[in-house]
Amino acid sequence: MAKQIILCVDDEHTILDSLKLELIKLLGDSYIIETAEDALEALEVIENLLSRGYEIPLIISDHIMPEMKGDEFLRRVHQISPKTLKIMLTGQASIDAVGNAIKYARLYRYIPKPWDVTDFDLTIKEALHSYEQERKIEYFYADLEQKIVERTQELQEKNEILLKLDQEKNEFLGIVAHDLKNPLSAIKSLSGEIERSINKIPQLQLLKFIRIIQIASRQMFNLINNLFDVNAIESGKINITCQRLNLLPIIHALLEIYSDRAREKQIHLHFSSEFSEGYVLGDENIVQQILDNLLSNALKYSPYHKNIYVRVYAYQNCIRCEIQDQGPGLSAEDQQKLFGKFSRLTPRPTGQEHSTGLGLFIVKKLVERLNAKVWCESQLNQGTTFTLEFIKFS
């Protein structure tokens, strides 16, 4: 910060020299002492100093000066720099002049000429101390105001977060209640029917009821599992250990698991790879969960008699895995909310399968935890391709 200025204004050179010497003796080099021989010159000096960023805590001015009296000069100073303290130093000022200076220029003190050195020094010190105190108070309140603005903004942001969380909670409860209600209703209805008519129900019908109960139970189990996964991810409690991992055996195992479901919908699963071993940096359980989710989705949303292609290939320092289906594809709007929590997209499962709306949200979060990437390319009526990009393990 630049040094502060004390300006002395008097039309007598001897007075200016005396003031300057006394102020230097009193204050040392703590302040820069500037002088002006009349009011007009002083106003130019003030405007110049202020434009250069200097502070002027104190002006000491004579009253009887050519062209402009001291009370008028100090009034103009007050208009330019209201925080500057003003001292009138003269032996010829009238009561009216002093009154005007007090009223219109906030005159700090009137000192008669010739001045008493002790009184003069005390007045200067008190004036500068008063200025510093006012400045500290001003800075304090400015800082306080800024902190209040910042805290208010923080509170508003936190309130918005809380409102969003409350909205998500309500949506969550509504979705969970809806997704649990249907399978629970089926279980309740069919189990009641079995209890009432156990001896009258044909065996094939009974097996059909049991099959429906199993499907309903699996839907609830999958939803609860997904909710646990989401909670573990968002609370940071999921444990991931990245290590050297061969991607191909995981894919082969999943294709074998889903082969029966593919046959039920007469969907052909195709696999191709540029190499026999594709080592990536990853956690086996997490990678399996990601691939399982994407492959399950491809089967779930593919119409009967279609194809699903799984391709593995190298790209720069990564290994990519593509899962391409021949389903209905996704609109641009659907792609915008693809990885959102509880996202309900336009396409619907083609074999009465169940969807929680959490699968792709979980995939995205798990992929990020592996420092991997996932994205989707799709056009309506032309199928969808999900691409995973893992860090290649060298």
377 — pLDDT class (breaks 50, 70, 90): very high
Q: At 235, phi and psi to the nearest 5?
A: -90, 0
pLDDT at 156: 92
Mean pLDDT comparison of 61-65, 144-148, 166-170, highest-scoring range? 144-148
pLDDT tens readout for residues 180-219 = 666 777 788 888 888 888 888 888 888 888 888 887 787 6
pLDDT at 357: 66
Q: Is 80 exceeded by the pLDDT of residue 95?
A: no
Q: Is 80 exceeded by the pLDDT of residue 15?
A: yes
32 — pLDDT class (breaks 50, 70, 90): very high
Least confident of 13-22, 106-115, 137-146: 106-115
pLDDT at 347: 67
pLDDT tens readout for residues 155-182 = 999 999 888 877 767 766 666 665 666 6
Separation between Cα atoms, residue 62 and residue 144, nearest integer Å? 39
Q: Is 90 exceeded by the pLDDT of residue 307?
A: yes
pLDDT at 346: 67
335 — pLDDT class (breaks 50, 70, 90): confident
Give me the long-range contacts of 101-110 (CB less than 8 A, separation at least 24). 101/70, 101/71, 101/74, 101/75, 104/71, 104/74, 104/75, 104/78, 105/71, 105/74, 105/75, 105/77, 105/78, 106/78, 106/82, 107/74
pLDDT at 219: 67
pLDDT at 224: 76
Q: Which domains does the chain have, with CATH numbers?
A: 4-115 (3.40.50.2300), 152-230 (1.10.287.130), 243-391 (3.30.565.10)
93 — pLDDT class (breaks 50, 70, 90): low
Least confident of 109-113, 337-341, 343-347: 343-347
pLDDT at 375: 93
Average pLDDT score over residue span 139-150: 92
pLDDT at 17: 94
Q: Pull the structure tokens for residue 126.
A: 């008190």
Q: What is the residue type of 296?
A: S
Separation between Cα atoms, residue 57 and residue 109, nearest integer Å? 14
Least confident of 34-43, 62-71, 290-299, 346-355: 346-355
Q: What is the residue type of 336?
A: Q
pLDDT at 126: 94
Cα separations (Å) of 188 from 32, 183, 210, 311? 91, 9, 12, 44
Separation between Cα atoms, residue 281 and residue 392, nearest integer Å? 6
pLDDT at 171: 65
374 — pLDDT class (breaks 50, 70, 90): very high
Q: Is 90 exceeded by the pLDDT of residue 342?
A: no
Average pLDDT score over residue span 238-244: 82
Q: Pull the structure tokens for residue 323.
A: 């899962």
Q: Is 70 exceeded by the pLDDT of residue 355?
A: no
Nearest to 186 by CA among 211, 151, 157: 211
Nearest to 316 by CA among 373, 367, 370, 360: 373
Mean pLDDT of the chain: 85
pLDDT at 36: 95
pLDDT at 210: 86
